[in-house]
Amino acid sequence: EVQLVESGGGSVQAGGSLRLSCAVSGYSGVPGYGGCLVWFRQVPGLEREGIAAMNNGSGVTYYADSVKGRFTIAQDNGKHRLYLQMDALKPEDTGMYYCAAVIYGCYPSHWWKEYFYNNWGPGTQVTVSS
C-alpha cells in the first residue's frame, strides 16, 4: 500500500523560505521508466494545481510557471522522501500542499492534472503573510 505523508508546512513572511517533505512508502514506478511524484497546491474554492513534478527514475523535473525559479523539487537517494524547497515565497503561495504519486512517468502534456494521480497524502498548510 502506498503511503504519502507531508510535513514542513507553517507560516512565513513574504520573501522567506520553507522546505516541505513527503515521506514515501510502498511506492515504486514502472521498472526501467520510473514513476511520477508531484507537489500540488490548493487554495480554498479552487482546484488543486500541480506545481512541481519529478520522474523518480530519470530525475527529470517539471514546474508550473508560477513557481519556476523559486521552488525546487528533489528526492533523497533512497527515494523514500520527496522534498519541495520553496524560496522567495509570496502571499499567493498560501494554500494546502499535497504530494501525490502514480506508477507511470510524468507526461509533459498533463503532469499537473489532478486526475493523473491515484495516491495522495493528507496535505500540509503553508501560509505566507505580506
Q: Is the pLDDT of residue 4 over 80?
A: yes
Question: Would you give the end-to-end CA distance of the chain in angstroms?
Answer: 40
**Alpha carbons 68 and 54: distance in angstroms, whole number:** 14
Residue 128: the pLDDT is 98
Q: Are 6 and 123 in contact (CB under 8 A)?
A: yes
What is the mean pLDDT of the segment spanning 93-101?
A: 97
Kindly report, residue by residue over 24-68, the tens digit of the pLDDT. Answer: 998 988 887 889 999 999 998 899 999 999 998 899 999 999 999
Report whether 73 contacts 54 (CB < 8 A). yes
> 70-82, pLDDT tens digit by residue?
999 999 877 789 9
Distance CA 59, CA 53 (A): 10
Which residue from 113, 123, 117 is spatially nearest to 50, judged by alpha carbons? 113
